[in-house]
């Protein structure tokens, strides 16, 4: 019996080898019921370390926070887009959060002290309201928070808001100009702008020379078009001068702008270039004398004159006259000639001494002097 049992086990063992193709391990013990048959592995897992931002590398520049809101109908609010298109005649109300708010809006509204616009400061926000809008109101509306110490305030660059509004009016593709002909000065050391601004965002605008008649390409190198400013001459030179105009097309309509005379400026920017000259440096008693102060400068830069003269402390009566005019200095170069003349009548001993002229513009001031003696 035992022999037959052993023979049966041997046959079963051989059959399993034929099926699996493998030899069963001799020392393999049978697994107990419920024992895990998956062999645990010793695979090493790299622990994930949370990334920590380097404080030194983090951007410490404060982010700009938009504080502007547009008031819609029925008391609704929304943040205005970078550009808005509204129909002329519509009212606009903008609010900017803050107890002290500064505002900027198209200079046209300030030039004529327009009553259609009002700016108010409430406890928690500033408010700008424009009613009965026209195409001439097209432009940038912006606000900013103010940081104040007493009566001195400065702009808070982290709290600002702005939107450029196109006020579309039937028959007006261009923002109206106060004149039919304007002058643009081309200065070699700064940009020049032909202010062809449109009232329709989708309008196609081109620049043209009157003579010889041709389109001037805005190639992005010498000239670029900025919808908020117009055609910008990046590096003006004398070849750019002449009469130009703009053409706009939108919705199957076209319109031509006013004409612009481009004049090249020969004098670089800076403090006034000033000279002084007396009609005579030796004057007899009872004679008249004049002292002339002259400045050659940029055509669009105004010059202010002030005088110091010997009889000033004694309230000696004098006549002071300021004038200016544009002059051409060849090759189309244009400069501004500004002059101030001080005249003393019935010359006396108290009028003898130094006559000092100070000329001032936005870039600085220059002082010159000459002497007038009693003969």
Task: Give the pLDDT confidence score for residue 45 in this predicted structure.
Answer: 54
Task: Give the pLDDT confidence score for residue 19 in this predicted structure.
Answer: 46
- How far is it, in rounded angstroms, from Cα 138 to Cα 201? 11
- How far is it, in rounded angstroms, from Cα 94 to Cα 66? 13
Task: Give the pLDDT confidence score for residue 79 in this predicted structure.
Answer: 93
pLDDT along the chain (375 residues), means of 10: 51 51 51 52 55 50 79 88 94 94 88 83 94 93 91 89 94 86 83 93 94 89 92 90 93 92 77 91 93 88 94 92 80 77 94 95 92 91
Task: Give the pLDDT confidence score for residue 333 in this predicted structure.
Answer: 62
Evaluate whether 289 touches 372 at the Cβ level (below 8 Å): yes
Rounded to the nearest 5°, which phi and psi values hold at 74?
A: 60, 30
- How far is it, in rounded angstroms, from Cα 309 to Cα 327? 30
Which residues 6+ apart lie within 8 Å of 365 measured at CB? 271, 272, 358, 359
Task: Give the pLDDT confidence score for residue 182 in this predicted structure.
Answer: 84
Task: Give the pLDDT confidence score for residue 329 in this predicted structure.
Answer: 59
Helices (H), the chain: 2-20, 107-111
Task: Give the pLDDT confidence score for residue 331 in this predicted structure.
Answer: 46
Task: Give the pLDDT confidence score for residue 31 in this predicted structure.
Answer: 53
- pTM confidence score: 0.60
Task: Give the pLDDT confidence score for residue 62 in this predicted structure.
Answer: 60
Task: Give the pLDDT confidence score for residue 65 in this predicted structure.
Answer: 76
- How far is it, in rounded angstroms, from Cα 118 to Cα 71? 15
Rounded to the nearest 5°, which phi and psi values hold at 149?
A: -130, 100
């Amino acid at each position: 019996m035992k022999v037959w049992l052993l023979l049966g086990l041997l046959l079963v063992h051989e059959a399993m080898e034929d099926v699996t193709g493998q030899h069963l391990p001799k020392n393999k013990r049978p697994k107990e019921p419920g024992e895990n048959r998956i062999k645990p592995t010793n695979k090493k897992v790299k622990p994930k370390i949370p990334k920590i931002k380097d404080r030194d590398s983090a951007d410490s520049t404060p982010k700009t926070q938009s504080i502007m809101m547009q008031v819609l109908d029925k008391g609704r609010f929304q943040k205005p887009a970078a550009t808005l298109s509204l129909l002329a005649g519509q009212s606009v109300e903008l609010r900017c959060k803050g107890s002290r708010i500064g505002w900027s809006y198209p200079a046209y509204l300030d030039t004529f002290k327009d009553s259609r616009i009002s700016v108010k400061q409430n406890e928690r926000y500033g408010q700008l309201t424009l009613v009965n809008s026209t195409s001439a109101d097209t432009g940038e509306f912006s606000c900013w928070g103010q940081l104040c110490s007493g009566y001195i305030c400065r702009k808070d660059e982290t709290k600002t808001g702005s939107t450029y509004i196109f006020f579309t009016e039937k028959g007006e593709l261009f923002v109206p100009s106060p004149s039919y002909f304007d002058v643009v000065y081309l200065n070699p050391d700064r940009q020049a702008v032909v202010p062809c601004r449109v009232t329709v965002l989708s309008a196609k605008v081109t620049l043209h020379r009157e003579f010889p008649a041709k389109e001037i390409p805005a190639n992005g190198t010498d000239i670029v078009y900025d919808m908020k400013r117009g055609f910008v001459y990046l590096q003006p030179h004398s070849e750019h001068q002449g009469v130009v105009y703009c053409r706009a097309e939108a919705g199957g309509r076209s319109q031509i702008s006013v004409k612009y005379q481009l004049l090249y400026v020969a004098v670089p920017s800076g403090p006034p270039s000033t000279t002084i000259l007396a009609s005579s440096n030796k004057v007899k008693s009872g004679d008249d004398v004049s002292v002339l102060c002259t400045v050659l400068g940029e055509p669009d830069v105004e010059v202010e004159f002030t005088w110091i003269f010997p009889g000033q402390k004694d309230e000696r009566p004098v006549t002071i006259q300021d004038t200016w005019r544009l002059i051409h200095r060849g090759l189309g170069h244009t400069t501004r000639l500004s002059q101030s003349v001080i005249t003393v009548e019935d010359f006396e001993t108290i009028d003898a001494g130094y006559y000092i002229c100070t000329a001032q513009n936005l870039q600085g001031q220059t002082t010159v002097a000459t002497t007038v003696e009693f003969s």
